[in-house]
Amino acid sequence: MNRPIKFRVWHKKFKQWWGIICLNEPILSYDVDNLVFVQYTGCHDSSNNEIYEGDIVQYNNGDVIRIGYVGFMAGIFFLNYPDETDDELGYLLVSNLKVIGNKFEHSELLK
């Protein structure tokens, strides 16, 4: 798989996105204690939106619609659900995924 290594940056103090950086760009010299770096998964949803860690995704397999957030553990991106189950993102059909928010700005969607 050949995908760009890029991150979206969330500023905790200002509660806003600071943009996207690629791995080949210089390291930021900001107060990193207030920054959260979320990695691009290499996947897009059904509307061709890039999917990042922390994104809240609606998964519709035809029978059931589930909502979870994208997490990363042991080298794998997962869709984590509120009932503490999960699916590996790489096994889900893109046509069944839709980004509806992210856990930094829309955490209420996970309740």
Structural domains of the chain ordered from first start: 6-110 (2.30.30.290)
Q: What's the pTM? A: 0.83
According to the model, what pLDDT value does residue 3 have? 67
User: Residue 96's beta-bridge partner residues?
Assistant: none
According to the model, what pLDDT value does residue 96 have? 95
The string over 7-28, giving b where at least 16 C-beta atoms fall within 10 Å of a residue's C-beta and e elsewhere, is bbbbeeeeeeebeebeeeeeee
Calculate the alpha carbon distances from 19 to 51, 56, 79 in Å: 14, 18, 23
Q: pLDDT in tens for each of the 111 residues of the chain?
A: 566 788 898 999 999 998 777 766 555 566 678 888 899 999 999 999 999 999 999 999 889 999 999 999 999 999 999 999 999 998 999 899 999 999 999 999 988
According to the model, what pLDDT value does residue 104 have? 93
According to the model, what pLDDT value does residue 68 have? 96
The letter for the amino acid at 3 is R
